[in-house]
Amino acid sequence: MLKTLQPLHKVVPAGLALMLAMGTTTTQAANWFKLRGTEPGGIAHTLQVWGFLQPTYAYDFSDRIEGGVGGFGAAANGTDPVPGTLPSERTSQQSFYMRRARIGIRGTMIPISNDIDYFILTEWGQNGITRTDGGAKLLDASITFNQLSRGMDDDGLQNLGARFRMGQFLFSQTSQALSQSTPGRRVHIFMPEATFAHAIGRYASDNGVGNWPENEVSANGARDVGIEVFDWAEFKDPIFGGGPLEFTYSLGLGNGDAIGELNRDDNFRKYGWLSIAKLFDNTRGPRRHDAMLYGFYQKGDIQFNNDLNNDGRPDGTPIPAGGNLNPGNLNSGVTGGGVEFGIQSPGNRVLLNGNEKDIEQKYYGVGLEYFDKPFAGLGQIRFETEWQKQEGLTFDGAQSPSVAVNNAVGGFQSILYDVDGKNTGWFVDMGYDIHQHLGLKKRTTLNVRYDEFDRNKGNDVREVNFKTWTATAEYFFHKKARATLTYQWRDFSADNRTGGFKTNGNAVLEQIDQRIGLQVTFIYKNVLLR
C-alpha cells in the first residue's frame, strides 16, 4: 500500500488544499501574471506567433415564456426567454459557430532590450467582443518592463522585485477570467453564472434603450487599459520540503472603460491580487502541479445617468415600483408618463443633464485551486472553488427577458444596471483523468461543477437566483488538440421577489432548461511554457 504513494511532501499539501477548500469560500491556479506578462529568462526570441481556435456547437433546451400576467404577459408569453438563447446574439437556441479564433504574437524586444517583453492577441471569433460589426478586435497589447525583477538567488529561486506592464490586458480578477486566453487550463465550455455576469465587462453608462452604441464593443473580454506592477518570489518550503512556495502580487490602475476607448469620465479603476502557491514538482505552464490560495479586488467609480428624461423616476426600475421601465410595452419614448418601455439612450455613453453621478463598483473574491497527481497508479486530480461578490453598479440583464420584446427595443444593445446592487456567487469544480482506467492512451478527463449566483440579492423587484450543475468530458487527441463535451442542468428562479414581479419573473425563469455544448480546441505554435 505504502509503495503506491508518492512522497509525503506532495500528499500532505494536497490533503490540506482539499480541507481548506471545504472550509473556505474560494478558484484556479497557474501563475497567469507570469504566463501572460513575461517571457522565459535566458531564452531570447523576438517574435513567436501563437493562438487557438474553438469551433463550437451549442443547443439550449429551454421552453417559451408562459404564465406572465398583465402587460408583460401579453407581450412576452409564447416568446423565447433571453437566458434560454445562445450568447452573444441571443436570437437562437442552437447553432454552430466559431466561438473563439485568436491569433497573436509575443516575445522579447531584442535588440532594444532583453528586459522588455511584449504580448499581443486579437480575436476573430463570434462572441460579445466582435458582435458589433463582426470584425476582428484587439484584445491584448502590452509591454512588460522587467528591469527591477531582481532575478534568482543562489538556490535558483526567484527573488521578489517589481515588473511594470502597460497597455491593454487582463487585470487582477477571478482566475476563471484570467485563464480565458490560455486554453490549456480551461475545462468547461460555459462559465459559472457569476463570472459570466461580472467579469466579461459590459460597460454602459445609462439604463436607456440602446445604451450600447453599435460602433463600440459589447463586452471587454475582462480587459482594461492601464498600468500594472507585479512580480512573484519563490521560497523553500520549511514544513513539507520538496517544491518551493510561490508568492505573487499585483497592483494595477486602469481606465475602467470599454477597451479601445480613452478614459471617458476621468475615473480610474484599481486592481489588486495576492496569492500563495505550493509547487509540487518542476511542471510549468497552465497545467503545472500546484495548490494555490488567492484573492482579488477591484474598485472604481463609473459615471452613470439613471434619469435621462429628468422626471425624477429611475429609468432602470419597473413602473409599478416607481420607475420608467415597462418590459410589457413596445412603445419607447422620452416623455415619461409611465407608458413607454424605457427611455431612449442618446447613445453617447453619458447624457450630461445634471442627473449623471459617479457610482462606485466593487468586485472581489477569494479562491483555492489544486492540480496534481498525488497517488501513483491513479490519474491527475483537479479541484477548484471560488467565492465572488460585486457591489454598487451591477449588471442586471436585458431590458426585457423576452427575445421578441427586447429585439423591438434595441435587442442586444439594450441592457440594465442596478445602481445599488449586491451580487454574490460561488462554485465548486472537480476533475479527474480517467484514461488509464479505461485503457486509453490519450488523456481523457471527467469534470463536475456546481455553481450558485444570487443577482440583486435582497431586491424584491429584481432578484434572480441561479443554480447550475455542469458535467464535462475532455478527450485529448494531442497536447494541443482536444474535444470537449459539456452538459448543464439549470434551475433559475425569482422566488425571492414579491407579487407580480415574482409571477412574471418565474414565467421566464422556470422555462430555462438544460444546455449542451460540443467544442474542439486547436492550439497552434504553443508558447514556451513557464
The answer, yes or no, to whether residue 354 has pLDDT greater than 60, is: yes
The answer, yes or no, to whether residue 132 has pLDDT greater than 80, is: no
Q: Is the peptide bond before 111 cis (omega within 30 degrees of 0)?
A: yes
* Nearest C-alpha neighbor of 508 from the set 424, 423, 429, 404: 404
- Residues 6+ positions from 22 with CB-CB distance below 8 Å: none
pLDDT at 262: 87
The answer, yes or no, to whether residue 21 has pLDDT greater than 50, is: no
pLDDT tier, 128 (very low <50, low <70, confident <90, very high otherwise):
confident
pTM for this one? 0.90
The answer, yes or no, to whether residue 332 has pLDDT greater than 60, is: no
The answer, yes or no, to whether residue 410 has pLDDT greater than 60, is: yes
Q: Is the peptide bond before 175 cis (omega within 30 degrees of 0)?
A: no
pLDDT at 195: 93
* Spatial contact of 368 and 382, defined as CB atoms under 8 Å apart: no
pLDDT at 142: 97
pLDDT tier, 156 (very low <50, low <70, confident <90, very high otherwise):
confident
Q: What is the mean pLDDT of residues 431-454?
A: 94
Burial class (CB in 10 A: 0-12, 13-18, 19+), 396: buried
Tell me what the pLDDT averaged over the chain comes to: 86
pLDDT at 186: 79
DSSP string, 286-352: GG--EEEEEEEEEEEEEEEES-TT-SSS-TTSBGGGTSSB-TT----BSS-TT-SSSBBP-SSS---
The answer, yes or no, to whether residue 267 has pLDDT greater than 70, is: yes
pLDDT at 27: 35
pLDDT at 331: 52
pLDDT at 220: 84
Task: Output DSSP code: residue 78.
Answer: T
Q: How many CB atoms lie within 10 A of CB 155?
A: 9
DSSP string, 243-304: SPEEEEEEEEEE--S-TT---SSS--EEEEEEEEEEE-SS--GGG--EEEEEEEEEEEEEEE
How far, in Å, CA of 320 to CA of 461, rounded? Answer: 9
The answer, yes or no, to whether residue 121 has pLDDT greater than 80, is: yes
Burial class (CB in 10 A: 0-12, 13-18, 19+), 511: buried
pLDDT tier, 8 (very low <50, low <70, confident <90, very high otherwise):
very low
Q: How many CB atoms lie within 10 A of CB 524?
A: 12
Higher pLDDT, 377 or 361: 361
The answer, yes or no, to whether residue 17 has pLDDT greater than 70, is: no
Residues 484-494 have pLDDT tens digits of: 999 999 999 99
Q: What is the mean pLDDT of residues 501-527?
A: 92
pLDDT tier, 219 (very low <50, low <70, confident <90, very high otherwise):
confident
C-alpha cell at 198: 461580472
> Which of 49-53, 144-148, 469-473 is the least confident region?
49-53
pLDDT tier, 131 (very low <50, low <70, confident <90, very high otherwise):
confident
Q: What is the mean pLDDT of residues 510-524?
A: 96
CATH 2.40.160.10 is right for the domain spanning 2-524: yes
pLDDT at 179: 75
Residues 93-118 have pLDDT tens digits of: 999 999 999 999 999 988 788 899 99
pLDDT tier, 2 (very low <50, low <70, confident <90, very high otherwise):
very low
pLDDT tier, 376 (very low <50, low <70, confident <90, very high otherwise):
confident
Residues 66-100 have pLDDT tens digits of: 999 988 888 899 999 999 999 888 889 999 999 99
pLDDT tier, 153 (very low <50, low <70, confident <90, very high otherwise):
confident
How far, in Å, CA of 198 to CA of 7, rounded? Answer: 40
> What residue spans define the domains of the chain?
2-524
The answer, yes or no, to whether residue 351 has pLDDT greater than 50, is: yes
The answer, yes or no, to whether residue 290 has pLDDT greater than 70, is: yes
Q: What is the mean pLDDT of residues 174-193?
A: 80
* Nearest C-alpha neighbor of 512 from the set 69, 19, 83: 83
pLDDT tier, 411 (very low <50, low <70, confident <90, very high otherwise):
low
The answer, yes or no, to whether residue 460 has pLDDT greater than 50, is: yes
> Which of 81-85, 163-167, 258-262 is the least confident region?
258-262
Strands 444-455 and 415-433: antiparallel
Q: What is the percentage of the chain residues whose pLDDT exceeds 70? A: 85
pLDDT tier, 526 (very low <50, low <70, confident <90, very high otherwise):
low
pLDDT at 150: 86
The identity of residue 227, as a single letter, is: I
How far, in Å, CA of 196 to CA of 272, rounded? Answer: 20
pLDDT at 204: 82
